Amino acid sequence: MIRIFLILSLVFFLFPSNSFAQVVINELSSWETTGDWIELFAFENTDISGWILRDKANTPIETIPIGTIIGPSSSSFYVIEAGNRLNKESDQIKLLKGDDVTVVDSIIYGEADSPCAPGQGETIGRYPDANSLVDRFSNATKNSSNNNGTRLPCPTPTSPPSNTSVPTPTTKPTNTSDPTKKPSPTIRPTPKSEVKTAIAEETGEIEPTKINEGNREQVGSSYTNTRESPTPTPQVKGNTTNSFPYTAAFLIVLGLFFIGVSVFAFLRNQKKRYNFEDKEFPEDEK
């Protein structure tokens, strides 16, 4: 029993009996030559004294007079004459209670996900009365049931025709040569002087000759100078070209020394021979 009581209480809490007495904005017109108007509707008697109607800009349209009751006891419809307060292109009409905070109902037209703006002689309203469906009507049913009105749904916007045929791009001629492949360098015979220089460099007799990086091309695994330039003078390792030739000077001095010794020995020998012959010669005469 307690469980059933809780369920029933929850149902009454979610769906109170006075929910059916809620007042709604049932119909409106923004194109009447005599002035705009807004129609309210209620199934049960409801005191709407001091309730306020506002537009999208939150500007007050009408404050309902004290003592106004809407419902079957008097009339389920209540019409507010609004002059030219409603925008023709788009707007939002809000019904608030007397605290000017609690929103009772609202209708939007002329915007996304809402009915399109009505034209001359057309209205925006709920179908049937007080229903959640808001649509455009081709004729006004002011101060009477919307069930007698003729709905005029807004045309569905059509998207521009898409061009399904896509022109096929003309095939460009295929370039068989690989643009990323660099042309092979032209191989030319290496001059003998360069071969001799390379051999001297490998054996260590002379230092490797530096070659300008910007003026050479690769031949096999070695590089040769592509610009004609004078053959550099080989340099002997450990000695510079301008150093004094100590080895040659030493050899020359040594050679002169041996020549001097030889000359000295020769002259000495000749002198001894002369003295000997000079001494012996008188004895021969005797």
Instruction: Find out whether 18 and 25 touch, Cβ atoms under 8 Å.
Output: no
Q: What residues contact residue 82 under an 8 Å CB cut-off, 6+ apart?
A: 35, 36, 37, 38, 53, 61, 62
Does one domain contain both 205 and 142? no
Torsion region of 138: left, alpha or beta (phi above 0 gives left; psi -120 to 50 gives alpha): alpha
Higher pLDDT, 197 or 234: 197
Q: Work out the average pLDDT over 260-265.
A: 87
Looking at the chain, which runs of residues are DSSP E strands?
Answer: 24-29, 36-41, 46-47, 52-54, 60-63, 69-70, 77-83, 91-96, 103-109, 123-126, 134-137, 216-219, 222-225
Rounded CA-CA distance 170/258 in Å is 96
Is 270 a residue whose pLDDT tops 60? yes
Percent of the chain at pLDDT above 70? Answer: 57
How far from the centroid of its chain's Cα atoms is residue 79's Cα?
A: 57
- 117 is a domain residue: yes
Does one domain contain both 128 and 221? no
Does one domain contain both 205 and 97? no
State which residues form the domain around 200: 192-225
Is 169 a residue whose pLDDT tops 70? no
Does one domain contain both 131 and 44? yes
* Amino acid at the residue 226: T
- 274 is a domain residue: no
Q: Work out the average pLDDT over 99-112.
A: 96
Six-digit token string for 123: 């209205």
- 166 is a domain residue: no
Residue that is last in its domain, among 182, 210, 225: 225
- 281 is a domain residue: no
Does one domain contain both 27 and 89? yes
pLDDT at 211: 43
Domain count, the chain: 2
For the stretch 8-57, pLDDT in tens is 444 444 444 334 448 999 999 998 888 999 999 999 999 999 999 999 99
Is 170 a residue whose pLDDT tops 80? no
